[in-house]
């Protein structure tokens, strides 16, 4: 039996060795970080080290970082009560708090008219399409972009941003809200006043330790050019797919906006995305038909629909997302296996 190939890095990433080691070490720290005795101070020190690591990797100050359970919680904490505008291509975690009134063109470009009242993603999780961030945004979703492309919170001039540990090699169940100095938020979880009074509840010391180590390692990978190699593999993948698919639409591939270096989204009209995902799963490849947070919901992608694809095409897309552990042989095998399935689809449709 051939080994399985994981090509769904935008959904979640393998745990980095550095994160695993930091988490194992944190498991042996006994104290509650809110306690004033030595054991409590040791637990608090784990959190503050991780806060400094995340801040350095995100181009922020440690005091800007609020640890939360996920980017979704970070969005709720940063957006509640703000009455902002966003576009239909935003992740559901952000779109749930905004009016969705901003226009999107066929390339996925969002028309921002008032940055101070706008929430905007740096990169789309389904298509990989990246936005040019205007200065002074109210809110930036950096969840998919952080660790793959250069990002510094201070560059944006934004009020707030979110990141999620499991998107860059950290554990699931921990994320961070970044806040502009001097800006405060109304706590949505109240109690003991942890996280500078912004998010109560005993901190997830183990998860936070893993997030800090992963952020530090992710920044190192980016500086070392790891994602440039990933981009080369993505291009090899798409070249292989194009050679066997004459009716497939590659979203964002030839547009004027940049894409994440690891992401390829393509639609073969009439060949449903979930059918492709199942066929490739049986062939030994893990890919997706859109945002993992929408799993189990069989419907056309609202992101692709907002970009102007019709219902048939928008329901026929899959996303392949690579990572630093992806090998050339993995993408070549995928292109071959997908091409064989695409030929069968065309034969059935003839």
What is the set of active-site residues?
293
Backbone angles phi, psi at 220, to 5 degrees: -65, -45
| Buried b or exposed e, range 241-272, using 16+ CB within 10 angstroms | beebbeebbbbbbebebebbbbbbbbbbbebb
Beta strands per DSSP E along 21-116: 65-68
Provide the 3-class DSSP secondary structure of residue 320.
strand
Query: What is the C-alpha separation between 60 and 176, in angstroms, rounded?
Result: 12
Q: Where are the alpha helices (DSSP H) in 59-97?
A: 71-79, 92-95
Q: What is the CA radius of gyration of the chain?
A: 21
Note whether 218 and 198 are within 8 A (CB).
no
Cα 92 to the center of its chain, rounded Å: 12
The β-bridge relationship of strands 285-286 and 5-6 is parallel
Among 196, 86, 184, 185, CA closest to 140: 86
Note whether 7 and 334 are within 8 A (CB).
yes
Give the Å distances, CA to CA, from 334 to 143, 179, 328.
26, 41, 10
Query: What is the C-alpha separation between 195 and 62, in angstroms, rounded?
Result: 11
Query: What is the C-alpha separation between 18 and 22, in angstroms, rounded?
Result: 6
Query: What is the C-alpha separation between 267 and 317, in angstroms, rounded?
Result: 4
Provide the 3-class DSSP secondary structure of residue 37.
coil
Query: What is the C-alpha separation between 27 and 214, in angstroms, rounded?
Result: 17
């Amino acid at each position: 039996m051939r080994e399985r190939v994981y090509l769904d890095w935008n959904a979640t990433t393998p745990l980095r060795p550095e994160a695993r080691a930091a988490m194992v070490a944190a498991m042996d720290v006994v104290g509650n970080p809110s306690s004033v005795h030595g054991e409590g101070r040791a637990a608090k020190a784990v959190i503050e080290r991780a806060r400094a690591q995340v801040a350095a990797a995100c181009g922020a100050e440690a005091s800007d970082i609020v640890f939360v359970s996920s980017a979704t919680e970070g969005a709720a904490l940063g957006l509640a009560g703000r009455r902002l505008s966003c576009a239909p291509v935003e992740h559901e975690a952000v779109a749930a708090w905004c009016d969705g009134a901003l226009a999107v063109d066929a390339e996925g470009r969002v028309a921002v008219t008032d940055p101070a009242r706008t929430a905007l993603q740096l990169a789309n999780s389904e298509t990989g399409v990246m936005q040019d961030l205007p200065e002074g945004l109210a809110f930036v979703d950096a969840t998919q972009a952080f660790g793959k492309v250069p990002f510094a919170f201070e560059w944006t001039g934004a009020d707030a941003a979110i990141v999620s540990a499991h998107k860059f090699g950290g554990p699931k169940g921990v994320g961070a809200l970044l806040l502009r100095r001097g800006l405060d938020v109304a706590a949505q979880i109240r109690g003991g006043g942890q996280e500078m009074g912004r998010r109560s509840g005993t901190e997830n010391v183990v998860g936070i330790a893993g997030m800090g180590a992963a952020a530090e390692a992710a920044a190192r990978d980016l500086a070392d050019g790891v994602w440039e190699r990933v981009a080369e593999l993505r291009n090899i993948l798409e070249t292989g797919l194009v050679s066997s698919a004459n009716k497939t639409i590659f979203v964002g591939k030839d547009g004027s906006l940049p894409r994440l270096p690891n992401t390829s989204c393509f639609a073969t009209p009439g060949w449903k995305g979930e059918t492709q995902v199942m066929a490739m799963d049986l062939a030994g490849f893990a890919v997706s038909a859109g945002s993992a947070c929408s799993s189990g919901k069989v419907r056309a992608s609202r992101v692709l629909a907002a970009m102007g694809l019709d219902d048939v095409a928008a329901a026929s897309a899959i996303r392949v997302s690579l990572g630093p552990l992806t090998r050339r042989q993995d993408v070549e095998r995928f292109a071959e296996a997908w091409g064989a399935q695409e030929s069968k689809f065309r034969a059935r449709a003839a």
